[in-house]
Structure 1
Amino acid sequence: MQFQTLTSPHTERPNSISITMLWVTIALVPGIAAMLWYFGWGILVSILLAVVTAIGCEALAMKLRGRPALPAISDLSAVVTALLFAIAVPPLLPWWLTVLGMAFAILLVKHMYGGIGYNPFNPAMAAYVLLLISYPTDMISWLPPDMLNEHPLTLGQVLSIKFAGIYPQGLGIDALTMATPLDEMRTQLDLNQTLSEIKQSPLWGNFGGRGWECVGNWYLLGGLILLYKRIISWHIPVAMLGAMLVLATFFHVLDQDAFPTGMFHIFTGATLLGAFFIATDPVTASTTKKGQLIYGAGIGAIVYVIRTWGGYPDAVAFAVLLMNLAAPTIDYYTQPQVFGHRSGSNE
């Protein structure tokens, strides 16, 4: 019998990276669809722009390194980075900022360290933080969810705003955008409003912001798909959400008028997206089971601390990048004991 390979094993194995990234893309679809429903065409335009830029930068990087571009593009890692970045930024973010962010993510954060498998930081979150620090006004200008939007935008109007900076007659960026639930919560608490007073606003739903909590539910569904397919393990998501829930509940019990509940933090902002799709990045996360629990709990704790006392209301990107730094050390001290060796033995 003629085999495709000269030596064993003779069975042909599929590209595991491509399969993993494909399932991540599929699992993102419910959450992306919900974002399109609640926040409009800008999400789709940002996704298309980010994906095209990411693929172009991936091809350019491989050409500069003297390697074929097709294998790198076909593993879908650049596409996943583009999707995560595009759904994290505001729908009306100018086109050139999306291009800048993706070029930074692919060319510098990913390929400067040797490409997939070698980058120490999550590329999408590094690009997000770069833009947030450099262009804070553009990065906090979110559209209100559909049920609160007094000025829904057509696809043509979205394209006009993103590519030409031309707004509908009589409307500006301030008229079209509003504070996110996390921004509003933080601002009102700083003004000495109580939680019961803040939640009288129509911005609030059952647990978190209206629209946002529904989007979170769909990302939770996508996360469960990844768990079912064993693309990710439960350790990081459970540890991250558990740490946030414990800290938020503790402080809420201490002062119910000043600290939101744990469910508010979980179902508002990028928490569920971060827990299942961002923190679980196999390249930049901890790899040991015990280490993943520490890694996930660290992200959850940092997110809560920054949201409560820091200067950035969401904080998932900052928390992930900080724990990316700690991941190698965590792995070093949480390696499982080698079978047949006693702890502390020199043999």
Structure 2
Amino acid sequence: MTRIGIVGAGAGAAAATFVLDEALPDATVTVLEKSGGVCGRAATRRRDGHTYRYDYGANYVKSEDERVTELLTETLDAEGLVDASDPVWTFTADGDVSEGRDADEHKWSYTEGLTQIAKRLFARTDASVRRRTRIETIHRRDDDTWTATDAAGDDHGPFDVLVLNPPAPQTAELLGQADWDDERRDALAAAVGAVDYRSVWTAVLGYGFRIDRPYYALVNTDKEHAVGWISREECKRGHVPDGESVLIVQANHEWSVDRYDDPPAENVAALAEHAAAILDDDRLADPDWTDHQGWRYAIPESGPEAPGAFREAAGAGLYCVGDWMAGEGRLHAALRNGLDTGEEIALSL
């Protein structure tokens, strides 16, 4: 029986698990996730029970990849799938708003939020998902299998194949500390560590009135504004009560890095002021309720180079998966990479 371990329960890991469960029915798959949830930065929170739902990391999954589109609309249960059908417009550092992009693309979430993607994928498998299990060290054993040790000192495994799903900087750190005395480790750690990331500090702003605009979201095109993105969760059916609005305001990389550890209330207030100015509505500077989240490793700038290092690691039963492997910080890219990596692993076995 083949034993497969996966560190991290993000969208890529969920897609890989789904493929492996179908392709290798006799294999066992164990997913080790540090948090209490699944789907990584495709994260959803709830407020006041289920009165409010909001996707505060990734905003949606695009209909850009045919295989991912088929997965969401046909293979998985499409019940609850919602489309933020209004377009994405643009704004500049000067605050000029204009019609922009994505007018004809689907922008999918679920009434219950984006985390449904990973939940539904895992639910279709027999995988064991161990939450609140932070892996700190991986080990290559003398019998060419892998184990993973968590923060409590407990070992998981042995695994014939180990898949790493954390963002590239965290994967590189895990590789750098790996108990694997092999030049392949150093080559892989260097290749993964070279992937640059953008940080994003996010404010969630709730209002007891409806914001009437002809767009779902605004994106900053010149990359010179403190805000990089503003979207309206009320455009997703089931997320916000009628007559109310919830804004997701994401700061750009430089602002996020400079103020990452500042008091959250100050950051939220500053981003609310920016939102009010961009949308030209003074009321938005004073939200009725707020939430926030810092994403230190939010969006990969590019994909990894040195493909030989990944091929050599695969020969030792070690794989990486995620949007950064695809070189694009998009949810559909993470899902497609997971599907492809799952097939690659299945073929190798």
Higher helix residue share: 1
Normalising by structure 2, we get a TM-score of: 0.25
Normalising by structure 1, we get a TM-score of: 0.26
Whose radius of gyration is greater, 1 or 2? Answer: 1
Higher strand residue share: 2
